[in-house]
Each structure stands twice: as C-alpha cells, then as structure tokens.
Amino acid sequence: MAKKKLFKLLLFKVTPYNLNKLIFSILKIRILDDKLKTKMINKVVKDAAEALQGVSSGMTLMVGGFGLSGIPENSITELVNLGVKDLTCISNNAGVDDFGLGFLLQNKQIKKMISSYVGENAEFERQMLSGSLEVDLIPQGTLAERCRAAQHGIPAFYTPAGYGTEVAEGKEVREFHGKPHIMEKAFEADFAFVKAWKGDHAGNLIFKGTARNFNPNMCGAAKITVVEVEELVEPRALDPNFIHIPGVFVQRIYQGKNYEKRIEQRTVRQI
C-alpha cells in the first residue's frame, strides 16, 4: 500500500515543466563532469630520467625509506647515472654498501649526510670516520619532525630531544613547563624523492606497510617532490578514504620498474 501511495504521489508531482527541468539538470551535471575530466591535473612523467630533470650538483635532496624499506630505487639509480656531485642527502640512513644510497656513497657523489644513524652501511661508516664525508646525526623523531615542519610551512619548532648533548650545540634553548627545549629548524631541500605503493595521475598516494616510514613526511617538504610508484592508476581509481597523501604535495609522478626490495637482515626460524 505504501509503495502505491508513493507512486501516485510521484505521478501527481511530475509535470511536463518539472520533467524538462529534471532532464536539463541531469544534462548540466554530465557536461560539468566531462569538463572536470578534461581539466584533471596530470603530473605523470615518462620515466625517472624525465622526473629528475633539473637535478644538479650541490643540491640538497630528501630520500625516503628506512634502511632498504620503501626507498625510491629508480630515482636513486638515475642519480647515479646523472653523476651529480657534492650532494647533501637527508635520509634516515644510507641503506647498505651495494644498494640504495650506498651507490652514491661509493661514487663519492654525496658531500654530506643528514641522518639518524649509520645503519648497515660500512662505506658510510668508513667515510664518516675518515672525515671525507660530512655527517649530521640527529634524533630520529627530530628528523621526521623537521621533514613534517617543512611540509607544513612551519619554519622551526622546539623539542627536548638532544638537550645537553652535542645535538644542542649552538641552538637556541627555551624552557617550557620547567623543561629545557632546543629549537630545530625545518629542512630546506631542492628535491624530495619518494616511493609509494599506488598513485594516480593527480599525485594522490597510498603507501603500503612499513614502506610508509619517512615517505609521507617528505612529500611536499622540498621545492619539487618526485614520486615513483609500483602501480600508477587512472584518476578516480583510488578510494579517497584510503589516500595517505593528496596530490597537492606532489609535482611529478612516474611508474617505477624492476624493484628488488632487498632485505637488510633476513632472519628465519631454525628447525
């Protein structure tokens, strides 16, 4: 009965005028939708070579990843191919001797490393101890926050981490709630190289598992953010509810290839 009453009500309210108005509204929506599709921002570049255009010697670069997890393998390989020198690299660590940033260290392309620890890279350790490589070791949380501060346009912040150590030398100190804090400045980088799991043409990104690490904080934290992805999808293919980084933080995106995804220390159960 309720359905019949609703049907009669709809028939009563629909007039030729209302029907024409409804059809016009539907057509208008479709036209606007088509215009939006044609104007969709496209940040896709062909490959790593095109993505790294503008990189030159002496620049400061952010490189995502933690150890070997989530490192931008293709962008690092292209940096090696370019042969740029005197680089300042901001990265949690430098991977291992024969992979990741280890390639750049072997080629003496890095002048300074800003990291939280040396890690498994013996070449990093050798160059640091010999004095041939400038190294700025800072607390890991501070490293992440200096990236995030740059991403959000915050010039500086205060943290208690590092107070009373070499980390605090030459830095402003202020007390908050009776506790001394040191001032840390946001990073200033020319390029940020990031690795994501999925991304679309507009630069919207989804990260996977532990490969998320420092990558999201580095997006938008440099003048130009370059992202390589395992899966490059069409616009609107990503569920907005699962996007970690919106495309506004990305300038260039490309489809990566031939990922090795090495593991630094493989541990298996002994039987």
CATH code, 78: 3.40.1080.10
Residue 245 pLDDT: 97
C-alpha distances in Å from residue 179, one per residue of 122, 145, 164, 167, 269: 38, 19, 12, 17, 46
Asked if residue 271 has pLDDT above 60, the reply is: yes
Residue 27 pLDDT: 64
Q: Is residue 24 part of a domain?
A: no
Q: Is residue 103 part of a domain?
A: yes
List pLDDT tens digits, range 163-199. Answer: 999 999 999 999 999 999 999 999 999 999 999 999 9
| Domain total of the chain | 1
> What is d(CA 136, CA 117) in angstroms, rounded to the nearest whole number?
9
Q: Is residue 213 part of a domain?
A: yes
Residue 23 pLDDT: 61
> What is d(CA 114, CA 186) in angstroms, rounded to the nearest whole number?
13
Residue 9 pLDDT: 45
Q: Is residue 23 part of a domain?
A: no
List pLDDT tens digits, range 203-255. Answer: 999 999 999 999 999 999 999 999 999 999 999 999 999 999 999 999 999 99
Give the confidence band of 121 by pLDDT, cuts at 50, 70, 90.
Answer: confident
List pLDDT tens digits, range 7-58. Answer: 444 454 556 656 566 566 666 666 666 655 556 789 999 999 999 999 999 9
List pLDDT tens digits, range 131-162. Answer: 999 999 999 999 999 999 999 999 999 999 99
Helices (H) and strands (E) in the chain, counts: 8, 11
Q: Is residue 13 part of a domain?
A: no
Q: What percent of the chain has pLDDT over 90?
A: 70
30 φ/ψ angles, rounded to the nearest 5 degrees? -65, -40
> What is d(CA 73, CA 233) in angstroms, rounded to the nearest whole number?
20
Q: Is residue 76 part of a domain?
A: yes
List pLDDT tens digits, range 251-268. Answer: 999 999 998 887 777 788
The closest of 229, 221, 240, 237 to 199, measured between CA atoms, is 229
What's the whole-model pTM score? 0.82
> What is d(CA 207, CA 245) in angstroms, rounded to the nearest whole number?
9
Q: Is residue 237 part of a domain?
A: yes
Range of the domain at 137: 48-153+188-255
- Provide the token pair at 54: 């503008």
Q: Is residue 116 part of a domain?
A: yes
